Amino acid sequence: MPYRFRFSLLLALLSTVLATSAATPHPGGLDAYGCHHDRQHGDYHCHQGQLAGQSFASQAEMQTARQQTDTAFPPTLPVSQFSGPVVRVLDGDTMDVLHNRRATRIRLNGIDAPEKGQAFGQKAKQFVSEHAFGKEVTVKKFGLDKYGRSIGDVFLPDGRMLNEELVREGLAWWYREYAPGNVTLEKLEAEAREAKRNLWSHKKPVPPWVYRHR
């Protein structure tokens, strides 16, 4: 076999091996987006598709980035819906909803309520308990966060969305990082701020994401 031909064949084989190893996912497999949660590094990153090579804090953050990237044909987010009673309220933005005889942990989509140790943290939890605990709610799920919780919109028996009601009452922030295009939450937060409702009665309320970092 001529030397030049053998050298070209070797380069071709090397390129194939490198391409295959770059596309090979970590253990655990990939989801429908070509991404997965990497438990070793604690993030959610993509090996295939339009966001290959990028890392995110959660699947919900990836979905937001995917929507912003694909402007010509915005994708339809995978939404699953179920109804069930709220069996536990952990705080102002997290609850357990009974589904198929099991408690499903729901993290309210697009908002961030004060932590328990913050001002109005207990009031936010109490608000959720009064409006949702023991009641049949409808949950629209949008994937999982890095903790394995379902990200969802929760609708109360009267049709109101609990996520929006918390922001309306000044008991939660519009979570800009994970819901940058939500004009409804943006408007509700502005109105609550103007009216100085609850957490906005303080001159400089500390956002919970800042509080957690501290």
Helix (H, G, I), strand (E, B) or coil at 94: strand
Integer CA distances (angstroms), 15 to 27, 50, 144, in order: 23, 22, 36
By DSSP bridging, strand 102-108 and strand 150-155 are parallel
Q: What whole-number distance in Å separates Cα of residue 195 and Cα of residue 207?
A: 18
Helix (H, G, I), strand (E, B) or coil at 76: coil
Catalytic residue among 107, 164, 165, 189: 107
Give catalytic status of residue 115 as yes or no: yes
Catalytic residue among 115, 164, 165, 169: 115
Q: What whole-number distance in Å separates Cα of residue 173 and Cα of residue 186?
A: 9
Catalytic residue among 61, 149, 168, 169: 149
Q: What whole-number distance in Å separates Cα of residue 145 and Cα of residue 33?
A: 15
CA 148, 150, 154: angle at the middle one, nearest 5?
A: 155
Q: Which residues are catalytic?
A: 107, 115, 149
